[in-house]
Structure 1
Amino acid sequence: MGGTEAVRGGARAYIGSFTSGGGRGVLAAEVDEETGALTVTGASDAVPDPSFLALAGPVLHAVSETENGAVAAFDVTGPAPRPLGPPVPVGGAAPTHLALAAGHLLTANYTSGSVTALPLAEDGTARPATAVLSHRGSGPVAERQRGPHAHQVLPDPSGGWVVSVDLGTDSVRICALDPATGSLTLHGETPLRPGSGPRHLAFHPAGTHAYVLNELQPTLTVCRWDAAEGVLEPLGETRVVPEGATGPSYPSEVVVAPDGRFLWAAVRGDDTLAVLALDPDGGAATLVATVPCGGSWPRDLTLDPSGRRLYAANERSGDVTWFTLDPETGVPARAGAIEAPAASCVVFG
């Protein structure tokens, strides 16, 4: 699918999906800035399983979450994403997350338990990998933690560090990325509670705290972040499902409000969005509400650029549902949805 005519001005969103699950690949959509409604304008299934996306200007990057893991770049100046050359191997299996940092594209490779750095060319596409940093370790949950499983990689707010969250080793690693050479050097590793299965992390806007969402236990680990020293210190855990809730519950994504007052987490199984209030300094979180996610198996949760709406990519029900946020309570209210088979990720640009 494709098109070459110019896109009309206005906000845009991009949806990743699992082609192996019936998804259309990478979808482009116009965003109604008054209502938040999405209208799909085109799609590309040029690469298999583009499950996570990252936007850099007119270039959209996608992982190809396959055993022979790769990243792909798309031109998104038209109504449908257009591939920019062949996919580039990442030297790891099943990349499940990617992020941009210091002129490089970073991927977290789940099955092989590693992080890859790929420099960006002048046209914005990825060049061959300059580093593949392998994680080591395991955890007590035999069926999920026999070895490392890097699930997320992202730069910290200061830009001085790269953090990677590993579900298999119950830990978060802090690395240094050399912008000149693309090398990754391990600086430190923060252990979390054994068997918690950390999946994704989000930073407080002040850059002083981080919140690790755990997949194997429905909890959020609140941490202090010292950007000067590159040290992550766990402070405590908070449940993201109510006491007495019957599982299974598998949290997937965490996002923090731009003003630092609230945090939201998507929980699969329960199929809910959890609302947590943050203390003024960000050092503690309290569960205040849960609401239905609008579908089944919310794999991703994203704030729009205004910070007034949440978008849930509901993988198993095959839709993206959006919610308006109460500015006083942080509680989401369902506002609409579009069909998006095997949806896995939403980003805005």
Structure 2
Amino acid sequence: MTALSRRTFIGAVGAAGAAALVGTPLASAASRPRAASTVYVGSYTNSAPAGHGLDVAQRAAGSPALTQPHTVGKLTDVSWFDRTSDGRTLYVTNENEGSATGTVSALDISDPANPKLLGATSSKGGSPTHLSVHPSQKYVLAANYDSGSVVVLPIKSGGKLGAATDVQQHQGKEPHAHQVLTDPSGKWVLAVDLGTDSVYVYSFDTGNGKLKLHKQITLPAGAGPRHLAFHPNGQFAYVAQELRPEITVASWDAATGAFKPIAVVPAVPAGSTGDLFPGEIAVSKDGKFVYATVRGPNTIATFTVADGGAALKLASSAACGGNWPRHLVLDADEKWFYVSNQKSGTVTWLPRDPATGLPGKSAGSLAVPNVNSVFFV
């Protein structure tokens, strides 16, 4: 990886982590998950302490706890997940720290508890950190952090991936593509680049697997956009800025592919100091709440949504129960948060109050060294 390693550079930028901010009142834990589920957990194998790559855990009906994890062999530096709409094939990024190029692996998950590796394909760039399956179910899109590029990989019969049909190289002093996803309309592909402080909007030809740059939207220098999430109405998006503790609110017009920043909202209370690095961002299904993890104070920031999605307001900053919350996901019922805390090597789960949207205190944890993300199937 380059000197600006996505796993290590943040510690060199800021001072030692600040104390955790005061949590919100405990949400009711009376509601429990309705059914058993399989959960995939990704971790870094090439960082100390070494993670496992891909763990498969179970969540029993009536309990939020992740249990009985087992490791799927031969998978390195697993850091992101997505699956096909039929639920039969899982795709994961393999960052492969220290290698010139990473890979994307395909796994047969017909039996979710026992994934079977179908093969790995070059991402045509260094440290692929994010991927998504295109709605056409014909391609996987991946973002290469180290090389600052976006790659298109065709899905072949049986779920294996073919050689890249396109690679879009971002230009600038130090491009670092961090995310690539399709907008809710299915018409446009958006890529978020931390190094160029930009969001790229591409049109996509599903016939030949080629991207074409439509617009590059530049955010203020040093913002470090990391990930974005759309409001359920498809008219607004929220960008977590990694290098400033802020969320950019943008309007989105799917008819024209117009992405327009309209507001910037702090992700931490006024007066916060020390390391303040947002990680993941998520939106509740009802569109009433936006959530972001903040590394340093190790919090979940909860925002209330107003004006149909156009306005955010920081409502609380609650302790996440671990150190360095890289990723957050809500379960299908949105009754529990699952937070991947990289430095403490724990996945913590916290109840969510369905009325206020606020997280309660951590109710348990699963130990996974250098954990980075959780994916429910």
The alpha carbon displacement at 1:330 in A equals 1.4
Distance 1:70 1:123 in 2: 18
In the alignment, which residue of structure 1 is the partner of 2:82? 54
In the alignment, which residue of structure 2 is the partner of 1:111? 146
Distance 2:113 2:337 in 1: 23
1:156 maps to which of 156, 165, 183: 183
The alpha carbon displacement at 1:33 in A equals 3.9
Distance 1:39 1:149 in 2: 35
Over 3 Å counting, the alpha-carbon distance change for 1:60 and 1:183 in structure 2 is: same
Distance 2:295 2:342 in 1: 10
Distance 2:61 2:159 in 1: 27
Contact 1:264 1:273 in 2 (8 A): yes
Q: Does 2:115 correspond to 1:81?
A: yes
For structure 2, which runs of at least 5 residues remain unmatched after alignment? Answer: 1-34
Distance 1:282 1:78 in 2: 35
In the alignment, which residue of structure 2 is the partner of 1:338? 366
Q: Does 2:206 correspond to 1:172?
A: no
In the alignment, which residue of structure 2 is the partner of 1:91? 124
The alpha carbon displacement at 1:137 in A equals 1.8
Over 3 Å counting, the alpha-carbon distance change for 1:170 and 1:210 in structure 2 is: same
Report sequence identity in percent. Answer: 42
Distance 1:335 1:264 in 2: 19
Instruction: Compare 23-32 and 191-200 and name the one that shifted more.
Output: 23-32
Kindly tell me the number of residue pairs found equivalent between the two proteins. Answer: 332
**Aligned AA (2:224):** G
Q: 1:318-337 counterparts in 2 under 5 A?
A: 318-333=345-360, 334-337=362-365
Give deviations 1:274-305, integer Å, cap 9, x for gaps.
Answer: 01111040001000101111111111111111
Distance 2:312 2:60 in 1: 32
1:210 maps to which of 237, 251, 255: 237
Contact 1:43 1:80 in 2 (8 A): no
Please state whether the residue corresponding to 2:75 is helix, strand or coil. Answer: coil
For structure 1, which runs of at least 5 residues remain unmatched after alignment? Answer: 1-8, 139-146
In the alignment, which residue of structure 1 is the partner of 2:45? 19
Give deviations 1:223-272, integer Å, cap 9, x for gaps.
Answer: 00001101100011001111111121111100000000001101111111
So what's the TM-score if we normalise by structure 2? Answer: 0.85
Q: Does 2:103 correspond to 1:70?
A: yes
The alpha carbon displacement at 1:106 in A equals 0.6
Distance 2:187 2:123 in 1: 23
Contact 1:63 1:97 in 2 (8 A): yes
In the alignment, which residue of structure 1 is the partner of 2:164? 129
The alpha carbon displacement at 1:50 in A equals 0.9
Give deviations 1:146-165, integer Å, cap 9, x for gaps.
Answer: x1100000110111011000
Give deviations 1:294-317, integer Å, cap 9, x for gaps.
Answer: 111111111111122211111111
Q: Does 2:155 correspond to 1:120?
A: yes
By relative contact order (CA 8 Å, sep 6+), the higher-ranking structure is 2
Deviating 4+ runs (over 3 angstroms): none
In the alignment, which residue of structure 1 is the partner of 2:344? 317
Contact 1:272 1:290 in 2 (8 A): yes
Distance 2:166 2:181 in 1: 15
**Aligned AA (1:81):** P
Give the superposed CA RMSD. 1.3
Contact 2:39 2:376 in 1 (8 A): yes
2:228 maps to which of 195, 198, 201: 201
Instruction: Compare 66-75 and 149-158 and name the one that shifted more.
Output: 66-75
Instruction: Compare 194-203 and 296-305 and name the one that shifted more.
Output: 296-305
So what's the TM-score if we normalise by structure 1? Answer: 0.92
Give deviations 1:134-176, integer Å, cap 9, x for gaps.
Answer: 01124xxxxxxxx110000011011101100000011100011
Over 3 Å counting, the alpha-carbon distance change for 1:230 and 1:40 in structure 2 is: farther
1:283 maps to which of 306, 310, 322: 310
